[in-house]
Amino acid sequence: VMDGFVSIAYAAAMGIGVMFSALPLLAFQGSLALLGAVAGASLPPRTVASITATGGLVLLGLGVNLLKLRRLRVGNMLPALVIVPLISHLIHV
């Protein structure tokens, strides 16, 4: 929905090319949503919770950067999205 509203503003400013970018964007975002739904259904709740918590901390870092409170290298936090669920799984086995 948000992408739809933003694309209307972009189309007004940049022309019809914005409309042609909608199909690849729909395919990409749709595949990510389907992958997330399948992965979420097959993962234990504690793993989903650890991924959600880690993602929340990454978003918090992005917010700190946007507010210019401190410069955090959020890209360096991305491996945690893989490492934290593995550690969580090892702890709870």
15 and 48 both lie in a single domain: no
Question: How does pLDDT run across 46-83, given as a tens digit for each residue?
Answer: 888 999 999 999 999 999 999 999 999 999 999 999 99
- Say whether pLDDT at 14 is over 80: yes
Average pLDDT in the 25-35 region?
93
Domain ranges, residue 90? 44-93
Residue 33: predicted pLDDT: 94
- Say whether pLDDT at 43 is over 80: yes
79 and 48 both lie in a single domain: yes
54 and 83 both lie in a single domain: yes
**Number of structural domains found in the chain:** 2
* Contact status, residue 58 vs residue 74, Cβ threshold 8 Å: yes
33 and 53 both lie in a single domain: no
Interior/surface letters 24-61, b for 16+ CB within 10 angstroms, e for the rest: eeeeeeeeeeeeeeeeeeeeeeebeebbeebeeebeeb
In whole angstroms, what is the distance from residue 4 CA to residue 68 CA? Answer: 29
91 and 53 both lie in a single domain: yes
